[in-house]
Amino acid sequence: MLLHEDRLFPADPATRAVARRLYGEVRDLPIVSPHGHTDPAWYAQNEPFPDPAKLFVVPDHYVFRMLYSQGVALEDLGVPTVDGTAVETDPRAIWRRFAAHYHLFRGTPTRMWLDHAFATLFDIEERLTAANADALYDRIAGRLAEPAYRPRALFERFNIEVIATTESPLDDLRHHNAIRESGWTGRVVTAYRPDPVVDPDFAGFRDNIEALGALAGTDVSTFAGYLEAHRVRRAFFKAHGATSTDHGHPTAATADLSPVEAEALYHRVRGGQVSASDAELFRAQMLTEMAAMSLDDGLVIQIHPGSFRNHNARLMTRFGRDKGADVPTATNYVAALKPLLDRFGNERALTIILFTLDETAYSRELAPLAGHYPALRLGPAWWFYDSPEGMRRYRELVTETAGFYNTVGFNDDTRAFPSIPARHDVARRVDCGYLAELVVTHRLDEDEAAEVAHDLAYRLAKEAYRL
Amino acid sequence: MLLHEDRLFPADPATRAVARRLYGEVRDLPIVSPHGHTDPAWYAQNEPFPDPAKLFVVPDHYVFRMLYSQGVALEDLGVPTVDGTAVETDPRAIWRRFAAHYHLFRGTPTRMWLDHAFATLFDIEERLTAANADALYDRIAGRLAEPAYRPRALFERFNIEVIATTESPLDDLRHHNAIRESGWTGRVVTAYRPDPVVDPDFAGFRDNIEALGALAGTDVSTFAGYLEAHRVRRAFFKAHGATSTDHGHPTAATADLSPVEAEALYHRVRGGQVSASDAELFRAQMLTEMAAMSLDDGLVIQIHPGSFRNHNARLMTRFGRDKGADVPTATNYVAALKPLLDRFGNERALTIILFTLDETAYSRELAPLAGHYPALRLGPAWWFYDSPEGMRRYRELVTETAGFYNTVGFNDDTRAFPSIPARHDVARRVDCGYLAELVVTHRLDEDEAAEVAHDLAYRLAKEAYRL
Amino acid sequence: MLLHEDRLFPADPATRAVARRLYGEVRDLPIVSPHGHTDPAWYAQNEPFPDPAKLFVVPDHYVFRMLYSQGVALEDLGVPTVDGTAVETDPRAIWRRFAAHYHLFRGTPTRMWLDHAFATLFDIEERLTAANADALYDRIAGRLAEPAYRPRALFERFNIEVIATTESPLDDLRHHNAIRESGWTGRVVTAYRPDPVVDPDFAGFRDNIEALGALAGTDVSTFAGYLEAHRVRRAFFKAHGATSTDHGHPTAATADLSPVEAEALYHRVRGGQVSASDAELFRAQMLTEMAAMSLDDGLVIQIHPGSFRNHNARLMTRFGRDKGADVPTATNYVAALKPLLDRFGNERALTIILFTLDETAYSRELAPLAGHYPALRLGPAWWFYDSPEGMRRYRELVTETAGFYNTVGFNDDTRAFPSIPARHDVARRVDCGYLAELVVTHRLDEDEAAEVAHDLAYRLAKEAYRL
């Protein structure tokens, strides 16, 4: 049996009993997924997922980074190359390699997410091994051909009330349009992710700005025209359901330059070679500009700093971005956010959701900031910390200073569609386990814990993201 | 029922049983409070506390920072403005707002401290809610008018053996005088907090130095005269019971300049515009000067670094200092303290107590330093970490390298008088829970654990602070 | 009784039962000790250990640093001075001082290691105290005179399959030779620790380089000749069993200079005064050079960064290096290792084992790096963290991102010979406790946990170190 009904609950029987009761009240709540990276084309076109390897292995950097770390070549896992050099195309061969290394995932959340999907979607009851790889492949491949395994059917089966995808300002949102025009009632909204046009280090930055101006119909030769282009595109995104923006900068730096300084900086970053400090300052200034726009249009701001992207130079050259070679870095928030907070931190109408890849910031910087500034909220444990131990540390390090109500519930943040129910289930179980411990140590009454469990599983995400 | 007799003890029954036994031996020990910020005027004048809002809400930055973070205006909580602009004056209205938001404190130590005071002082048995706000207000207000709720009566009821307040060198200690002359036997001592006269960034620094010289009767136009003024004021404080000094610098930087360099620096910081590096260097040098004086007069040194004070510019302008907008920062100790330790670290006659707002320093820097240098001891989990999880992390991260005997027991560090018994009770319970786990995992025998529990609850604070 | 059979297992009965079963399968596995600092002369000469003080107190910086922190003079513990000033020579007097302060070790791993040795080697059943100090001294001293307590007999009794010592490239490995020529079958290998000849800040660096050239028979006036000398000495070490190199730099900095730059740098560091930045850059470059050599000769690379060595200036002057005054510092890996990883990170034939004294790097930097790069593995919890809580944090912070198979089992890293079985036993117990919790929270099946327990206790160390 792959899924025990008490999984992730604390071992102590009294605590476990409370956790079970709390979980019983939230397990069937609809999924609110306010931040993620699923492909809107899936919902728009509703095509079957092609095969088990393409569903579970090829697109999931959690999976292939672990296999790669133990010597499996990405070519052998079918990960496409930048220059089109041939890679493995036989999905069954990929699946077998994956199965032969499945023990590598012991103790990882990836293992839990995969087993959850295997069990709940495909009625698999035994662990994946080299020996049963073919049988499981056949089972999954067979099901994927059925109508019940198409994206929309799974969306409904997953009980998703609303899901957000993430798009560049240059995206025409055609898939979101198609979803809406199809008459299907699944709620899929976009989110405004302007990195390609606000980060001078992003590939094609200058061309992207031109494209932005063309799409928006504004003159991006001035900073004012460039900002106006953002406003136009934000309105377009908002018309396609967006309630938030998202910013994935290397640091949390913000700036509040004078108009003259900002204009000069804009011309420098649009020009030839951009210095590292100018690139950083422009990203910093743009966070503050985005906050100013959010005060007008109501979009919630998400700041996702601290990832050293594409750390592996050889892999970047051969396979491109997002291939499991992103690494967290130490991230400062207290000084970095001050320019933004000096200007907008006291605005009750603004919501800025902070994430981190540096867990030391939870208790030292983030909880104290979010437990004070009206504009700030804390996003859930993110990426490498979207795991039972990571979520537990998050609650233990954040709650005593910021409470529960300066947090925003759970984000799955995933591009792995079948893992969505598993991820929300893990979060609900871990939160209920944490709450149960507060109850049995008499820090919280059980009726309050039940209310908090519901808030963390459902209400806070809807409210914070204005969904 | 607000207070369960087993609160904060580990959930596991065997561990809980040991914790209960250990706690039973320390629960009624007198309170030694060697560092805090209660107002000596309370004990000197022994006036009733005016009303529930002024007792529990208006002065407690733990309380109003959380309410503020969720959109409650400080004006509506009666927090006074710098310019005297009107704020809420109806204590019942303030109390109702507090009650309506009481759920925000779920999972926080503030909630535990408040419930402890409600239950033990006012016999309240139900959680504060909007519905019972008026009834609880009336209950508390009624009691506060009784003689048994005056400061001295509460001091005795709390079983406080000794409490330290914290004063500026410019304070005339009139309240401490008045306490002594009153014949009341409660032991209230002061502590020497020279930030206003050693920190060039402190408001009024230059005037403060002149005032210091005037009070001490020394010529502060030279560094020697300025140091002599400190010696005079330290002696004055010592005559009023002080056994310690306290230093709240932004970093842990120390310096050991030559006399010529120090003299030149002193003249620079007394002069016009002070550079950030000179301000830092002067604070750093003064820690070493203070240590030199401590070798003579025996005062224990407390270093409280790492708070970014008054981070919220708008709040600072409108409401002034200490309004819940202080945020911890990453703090280095290893390089920062080296000048001081090179000079005095091996002195067995000196006690320097280190605190931190950066928990990453516990196991990486502080425990290794305190587990080696004879002059160093570690203060307890501080401020944001004066909480069940914070205290637990402290023990887990510190003990294996520094043991128990390089720590100094508990400080409540509070200006919230009714929270003092609750805070010491939390510390005793958490320490007993930690010790119980060492016992049941056979790392410590129970007779030893009982001795350690007594040391942590009482003896170590008295010894380290020479009280 | 000093040793309870369930020590260190989780308190919860169900979890403890699983831990007991898992431990039962690994408790008697041979000890593989791939990294440590025992003296090869012990095994070569097989002389009796002289007395209890020289076995347990004088050479163990874990022991005397704690005593020193509480005011015991190192002279009174018999620690020899640099200039030969007299220190205590009576081992019984040293032992009595140690016994009188034994309570200082409550809650520390040192206490567990000592009690383990007292109980298992000397059949002592009561805690060391001032009262029984003499009796225990006599018991231990008596046994040390017996043949069964000579180094080789203890080695066999400890069930050590292989142990590595650590030597400078300037060492002639005479003791390793002697061991081999003696016909004794105990497997003692060396490891190549080139700090004295790659760290320009090491005492005698320039002379050391000359000595290196003389030993290797190469011309070290050029960088090429210097590198060739390393190759020659590495081959010599390899012929004496070495399978690894070890690098104890202040930081994790690496560099990949052009040959011309490297040559110029080499001449600067061999010249007069070396700048701090050149010293750092040379160490950084040499890590990359060592990796290049490892690709040829197969030696595994260990990087042990982040210790601020000999922090206590006065102690360094009087007693020399390694006297318990080393302190961890914040350590960056992501940027620091990039030059090395850009060149060799994707090499499957290379093994680079990373250690840290900065626990914040576990989840933020080390697990993400090791969970991606084929060349990287993570060493176990090290030095101050070679303790129950430290090992537990290591697993909790590392496993979810890097799994178990990017770690390399346990190192005892000790110069305290009698503590070796205790240290491995602690590691096995803590790992089994961690695995048991995964089992009872249904994150891992028990059959898998048993396999992992065996891997962590034995197989991974042998494989990673190629032993």
Separation of alpha carbons A34 and A467, rounded Å: 8
Do the strands B300-303 and B352-354 form a parallel or antiparallel pair, or are they unpaired?
Answer: parallel
Residues of C whose CB is below 8 A from B404: 106-107
What value does the mean pLDDT take over residues C260-275?
A: 94
The pLDDT of residue B274 is: 94
pLDDT at C214: 98
Shortest CA distance from C127: residue in chain B: B445
Render pLDDT for C284-339 as a digit per residue (tens, 0 to 9): 999 999 999 999 999 999 999 999 999 999 999 999 999 999 999 999 999 999 99
If asked whether residues B377 and B459 sit together in one domain, one would say yes
Going from the C-alpha of C389 to that of each of B223, B438, C361, C382, C397, the distances in angstroms are 48, 11, 16, 12, 12
Q: For residue B446, which of B455, B435, B431, B430 has the smallest C-alpha distance?
A: B435
Cβ atoms of C199 and C249 closer than 8 Å: yes
Q: How far is B386 from chain C (nearest CA, A)?
A: 21
- C-alpha C3/C-alpha C121 separation (Å) is 12
Task: Report the CATH number that the domain containing residue A132 is assigned in CATH.
Answer: 1.10.2020.10
- The pLDDT of residue B272 is 76
pLDDT-above-70 percentage for chain C = 100
Q: Judge if C192 and C254 occupy the same domain.
A: yes
The CATH number assigned to the domain holding B236 equals 3.20.20.140
Q: Which residues in chain C touch residue A127, judged by CB atoms under 8 angstroms apart?
A: 445, 448
In this complex, the residue of B370, B400, B445 whose CB is nearest that of residue C108 is B400
Task: Quote the tokens at residue C102.
Answer: 């034994």
Average the pLDDT over C14-28 and give the result: 98
In a domain, C3, yes or no: no
Residue A30: the pLDDT is 98
C173 and C224 Cβ atoms separated by less than 8 Å: no
Closest among C5, C437, B389 to A12, alpha carbons compared: C437
* Domain end position, chosen among B120, B149, B178: B149
Probe site for chain C from B363, B406, B455 (most C CB atoms < 10 A):
B363
Place of tokens 């302060």: C101
Residue C104: list chain B partners with CB under 8 A: 403, 405
Of the residues B61, B69, B126, the best mutation for testing chain A's interface (the one with the most A CB atoms within 10 Å of its CB) is B69
Do C338 and C369 belong together in one domain? yes
What is the β-pairing status of strands A244-247 and A300-303? parallel
Helix (H, G, I), strand (E, B) or coil at C353: strand
Compute the radius of gyration of chain B from its Cα atoms. 22
All partners of chain B with 3 or more CB pairs under 8 angstroms: A, C
Q: What does the mean pLDDT of chain A come to?
A: 97
Q: Is C102 helix (H, G, I), strand (E, B) or coil?
A: helix
Sign for the pseudo-dihedral over CA of C251, C256, C259, C260 = negative
Size of the A and C interface in Cβ pairs below 8 Å: 129
Q: B143 with B36, same domain? A: no
Query: How far is C-alpha B154 from the chain's CA centre?
Result: 19
pLDDT tens string A79-114: 999 999 999 999 999 999 999 999 999 999 999 999
List all residues 6 or more positions away from C83 whose beta carbon is below 8 Å from its beta carbon.
C318
Helix ranges restricted to H, C129-204 = 133-144, 151-157, 174-182, 195-198
Q: Which two tokens stand for residue B180?
A: 């002594």
The CA distance from A396 to the nearest CA of chain B, in Å, is 7
Q: Residue range C369-374: average pLDDT?
A: 98
> Which of C297, C314, C400 shows the shortest CA–CA distance to C350?
C297
The number of distinct structural domains making up chain B is 2
- Domain membership flag for residue C289: yes
Residues A349, B265: Cα–Cα separation, whole Å? 47
Distance in angstroms (rounded) separating the CA atoms of residues A243 and A300: 6
CB C418 within 8 A of CB C55: yes
Cross-strand pairs, C32: C162
pLDDT tens sequence across C76-106: 999 999 999 999 999 999 999 999 999 999 9
d(CA B362, CA B373): 15
Query: What phi, psi does C198 have (nearest 5°)?
Result: -120, -10
| Minimum-distance CB partner of B437 among C11, C65, C109 | C11
Is A44 a domain residue? yes
CA B385 to chain centre: 12
Residues in chain A, total: 467
Q: Which residues of C202-225 are buried (b: 16+ CB within 10 A; e: fewer)?
A: beebeebbebbbebbebebeebee
User: Model confidence over B75-119: pLDDT tens digits?
Assistant: 999 999 999 999 999 999 999 999 999 999 999 999 999 999 999
Domain assignment of residue C457, given as a range: 13-46+151-464
Q: Is C85 left (phi over 0), alpha (psi -120 to 50) or beta?
A: beta
In a domain, A60, yes or no: yes
Do residues B338 and B418 share a domain?
A: yes
Domain-located, residue B6 = no
Classify residue B4: in a domain, yes or no. no
In chain A, which residues have their Cβ closer than 8 Å to the Cβ of B116?
none
Distance CA A332, CA A365 (A): 8
- Name the stretches of chain B with pLDDT < 50: none
Looking at the structure, tell me whether residues C108 and C198 fall in a common domain: no
> Which residues in chain C touch residue A13, judged by CB atoms under 8 angstroms apart?
14
Same domain, C342 and C384: yes
Query: Which tens digit of pLDDT belongs to each residue from A349-365?
Result: 999 999 999 999 999 99
What distances in angstroms separate CA A152 from CA A29, A122, A147, A160, A424, one per listed residue? Answer: 19, 17, 9, 10, 18
Give pLDDT tens digits for A151-205.
999 999 999 999 999 999 999 999 999 999 999 999 999 999 999 999 999 999 9
Residue B66: closest C-alpha in chain A:
A371
Q: What is residue A70's predicted lDDT score, i.e. its pLDDT?
A: 98
> Which of B443, B444, B446 has the highest number of chain C CBs within 10 A, making it the mutation to test binding with C?
B443
**A433 to chain C nearest CA, in Å?**
11
Please tell me whether residues C42 and C82 are part of one structural domain: no
Same-domain status, C240 and C376: yes
The last residue of a domain, from among B149, B176, B200:
B149
Both B140 and B198 in one domain: the answer is: no
pLDDT of residue C391: 98
Last residue of a domain, one of C110, C127, C149: C149
Give chain C's largest Cα–Cα span: 67
- For A313, name the nearest residue in chain C, comparing CA atoms only: C342
Q: One-letter amino acid identity for A452?
A: V
Determine, yes or no, domain membership for A224: yes
Q: Do C68 and B403 touch (CB under 8 A)?
A: no
d(CA C314, CA C308): 15
A272 has a pLDDT exceeding 90: no
CA distances from A285 to A278, A280, A340, C280 (A): 10, 9, 9, 35
Residue B5 lies in a domain: no
Beta-bridged to residue B303, according to DSSP, are B247, B354
pLDDT value of position A328: 97
Selected for mutation to probe chain C from A12, A75, A311 (highest C CB count within 10 Å) is: A311
Q: Cβ A384–C401 below 8 Å, yes or no?
A: yes
Q: Are residues A128 and A276 part of one domain?
A: no
- The token pair at B173 is 């200690």
Please, what is the average pLDDT of chain C? 97
Q: Judge if C38 and C101 occupy the same domain.
A: no
